[in-house]
Homo-oligomer: A and B are copies of this chain.
Amino acid sequence: MRISELSAASGVPLPTVKYYLREGLLPAGERTARNQAEYGPEHLARLRLIRALVEVGRLSVADVHAVLAASDNPRLPLNDVLGAAHDAVTRRAAPNRGEPAWNDARALVLDMAKQRGWQVHEQHCAALEQAADAVAAVVATDMPELYPLIDVYFEAVEPMARREVEAVLSMGSEDQIVRGVVIGTVLGESLLNALRLLAQQSVSTELLEGGEAGEATGA
């Protein structure tokens, strides 16, 4: 198909498609004339992937670049692709990293993970550091009522992560698995967060307004 058809099929505006081509996010089409190139279904799939990462996953173009570069590299072990996807969604560090309160928070998270038998790569682990950022911030706001939720989150993510990794590993070819890791990490996070809010709204409606569906929602 031509670039205008690629734009129409993907829903991505033509100037944006051209921008992705210039930035190297989207590989060039096959040149058929001086000013014309032909794009295939693999371009459409790639464009949909970029669109999902940018629009739903809210990644910057630079982050999409890093994630796609990792997933395009056939020699990179799967865990490193996962690492690149994780880095993209955990980009920003709180500036109090390394302070005593932050170190305490990191030690607490690490300890709770180890007690559950989790295998944590302690060095430069973006997820561990982001967890420490959040725990340190909760502690700094002085709301002890929220501390038990740390364990609630640990409890919730354990079976979830297992199902996620198993789903992605079931995808067959290495290529598919890598795409699954990227999509699953970024879009899964967005969906999980949205459903959490939806469930919170339901529970708070029930508890605050004594809604009729209360019995049906009992956990």
Task: Report the minimal beta-carbon distance from A150 to chain B, rounded to whole angstroms.
Answer: 7
Chain B residue with minimal CB distance to A200?
B161
In the complex this chain forms, how many copies of it are found? 2
Q: B51, B52, B157, B190: which contacts A130 (Cβ < 8 A)?
A: B190
Could you say which of B140, B149, B183, B190 contacts A143, with CB atoms under 8 Å apart?
B183
Bound CA span A74–B54, Å: 38
A82 at the interface (CB under 8 A from B): yes
> In this assembly, does A158 line the interface, its C-beta being within 8 Å of a C-beta of chain B?
yes
A118→B52 contact, CB < 8 A: no
Q: Are B56 and A134 in contact (CB under 8 A)?
A: yes
Selected contact of A140 from candidates B52, B161, B169, B192, CB within 8 Å: B52
Q: Is A111 in the interface zone, CB < 8 Å from B?
A: no
Q: Is A208's CB under 8 angstroms from B120's CB?
A: no
Residues from chain B with Cβ under 8 Å of A198 in the complex:
109, 113, 118, 120, 125, 127-128, 131, 157
Q: CA–CA, A9 to B158, complex, Å?
A: 37
B217 near A117: Cβ-Cβ < 8 Å: yes
Range for the number of chain A residues in contact with chain B: 35 or more
Kindly provide the distance from the CB of A198 to the nearest chain B CB, expressed in whole angstroms: 4
Q: Which stretch from A19-27, A28-36, A62-70, A89-97 is at the chain B interface? A: A89-97
Given A153-B160, A153-B188, A157-B199, A204 contacting B165 (CB threshold 8 A): yes
CB proximity to B under 8 Å, residues A155-200: 156-171, 176, 179-180, 183-185, 187-200
Known: A143-B183, A189-B196. A149 touches B131 (CB 8 A): no
